[in-house]
Amino acid sequence: MAKRSITETSPIEVYRLLPRTNCGECGEPNCMAFATRLVNRELTIDACPPILRPEHAGDRADLDALLAPPVRAVRIGRGERSAVLGGKYIVQRHEFTYHNPTCCALSVDDSLSRDQLVQRLRTIGEFSYNYIGRDLRLDAVALRSVTGDPGRFRAATETIAETCKLPLVLCSPDPGVLRAGVEAVPGLRPLLHAADSTNWREMATLALDADCPLVVSAPDDLAGLRSLTKTLRAWGLEDLVLDPGTFPGGGLAHTVRNFARCRYAAIRDGDELLGYPLLGAPIAAFTGEELDSTRCAFDEALTASVQLSRYADILILQGLEGWSVLPTLIWRFNLYTDPRKPVAVEPGLREFGSPDRQSPVLVTANYALTYFTVESDIKSANLSCYLVVEDTGGLSVESAVAGRYFSAAGIAEALAASGVDERVDHRVLIIPGLAARLSGEAAEATGWRVLVGPKDSSGLPAYIKERWPPGPA
């Protein structure tokens, strides 16, 4: 029988298994509120101290089973050098939301000199891009054995542990090489890639000895993947990651089909043997005899974006150029943003440059992308002004105007709460061009003279230059 989706779990079912003391130790007003937030995956069971007591052990076990995701969560690494893969409840994002963003691991190999390796590791560790107020970073390092030399692999593993604090993936088909790497970093629990039909006994033994999660690889063979998984589970391995194979270019559609079949089988059909995180290897775009590095990086970025959507939990990447990596990180950010909670910034007053008592006063929505676009355009033009950010529920200006979240009354409230009237001598407000139809109502509600600005904030520099200070009304 298929395991029920999290969207089919009722808060009442969860509530019946809670202590029902309404003690408030979880921070919620009562146990029903806590149960609702548990079902919505906004809190964890551990947030309820009473359920952790021995007398509730049976109910705790039932809750764990009731709320367990069909795709298991597997942790690689330990402490700050760790990442969680999988833990998925649904197939389609609109059904609920996605948890545990896909781990993006950048590859290095043991053919690099120590200096080359350290330089690449520093580039990986320092890579950061601020996107609508969030820092996008890389998550792990994947060390590949291209020399087949256990000594070089061990030395490279030690260098990574000394230089970088990201979780580690060790990649080699040779169990002896992987053992050398694992022994170099005791306790760090790297992900081992990979067990296949030829080496699974040795890989299973290594994973059990070192307590490491293990990748199960059977490219384009889902029946073989299930069989290997079943065998490894029988050996006592539970922390597994599945690699159905990645085929860039003409094989991309085939790749997507295999990944989708795994995820649908786990969530819709309750197939426990396929209910594990999935590993994608866009780095496969760099294989071949005659390689054009730019074309390979493009194919890798394309493959990564598709596998993010269908349904990779960890990606192994090679290209480190900004134009190649950023689309992957930005798409991941958007894909794993909770659709029930728009990305928003705090409402309130912002100052830019060195505003004085005659500086312009503008207003905008608190949708993060809108705000940071306006902020960027203001800063790039070196404008000195005040910006009032209205709480529009995280909606953009156009959407908020249509839904009446960006309204004359809201502008008046935001203006009054900001205190900007005490910082300027004039009473002139510039509203976005997309909110032009609110100009009359806003003037009545605020008592300020309202000017309609450009529809796009990129037009602000020219608008301010031509129309500020404004002439007589």
Please answer whether residues 102 and 313 qualify as being in contact, where contact means their C-beta atoms are separated by less than 8 angstroms: yes
Whether the CA torsion 467, 468, 471, 473 is positive or negative: it is positive
pLDDT of the residue at 149: 97
Closest CA to 308 of 280, 269, 272: 280
Closest of 247, 320, 307, 234 to residue 277, by C-alpha: 307
Per-residue model confidence (pLDDT) at position 5: 54
Q: Round to whole Å and give the CA distance between 393 and 366.
A: 7
Quickly tell me which residue has 């200070």 as its tokens. Answer: 469
Name the 3-class secondary structure at 236. coil
At residue 142, what is the residue type? A
Please name which of 215, 143, 216 lies closest in space to residue 181, comparing C-alpha atoms. 143
Cα-based torsion angle of the residue sequence 122, 124, 126, 130 in order, rounded to the nearest 10 degrees: 170
Closest CA to 438 of 405, 473, 471, 464: 405
Residues 153 and 180: their CA atoms lie apart, in Å, by 7
- The Cα–Cα gap between 202 and 99 comes to 33
Pairing of strands 385-390, 348-352: antiparallel
Can you read off the two tokens belonging to residue 218?
A: 């059977």
Say which residues have a Cβ less than 8 Å from residue 413's Cβ, sequence separation at least 6.
Answer: 390
Q: Quick check: 359 and 395 in contact, CB under 8 A?
A: no
- What size, in residues, is the chain? 473
Cα-only R_g, the chain: 27
The tens-digit pLDDT sequence of the chain (473 residues) is: 345 555 567 888 889 999 999 999 898 999 999 988 888 777 778 889 999 899 998 988 888 888 888 999 999 999 888 999 999 988 887 666 778 999 999 999 999 999 999 999 999 999 999 887 789 999 999 999 999 999 999 999 999 999 999 999 999 999 999 999 999 999 999 999 999 999 999 999 999 999 999 999 999 999 999 999 999 999 999 999 999 999 998 899 999 999 999 999 999 898 999 999 999 999 999 986 667 888 999 999 999 999 999 999 999 999 999 999 999 999 999 888 877 677 889 999 999 999 999 999 999 999 998 999 999 999 999 999 999 999 999 899 999 999 999 999 999 999 999 999 999 999 999 999 999 999 999 999 999 999 999 999 999 999 999 999 987 76
Cβ(428)–Cβ(470) under 8 Å? yes
* Helical segments of 251-396, H only: 252-267, 293-309, 322-335, 368-380
Find how far residue 170's CA is from the centre of its chain.
Answer: 23
pLDDT (0 to 100) of residue 1: 39
Q: In which residue are the tokens 């194979």 written? A: 245
Q: Which domains does the chain have, with CATH numbers?
A: 6-67 (1.10.15.40), 73-335 (3.20.20.20), 348-467 (3.40.50.11600)
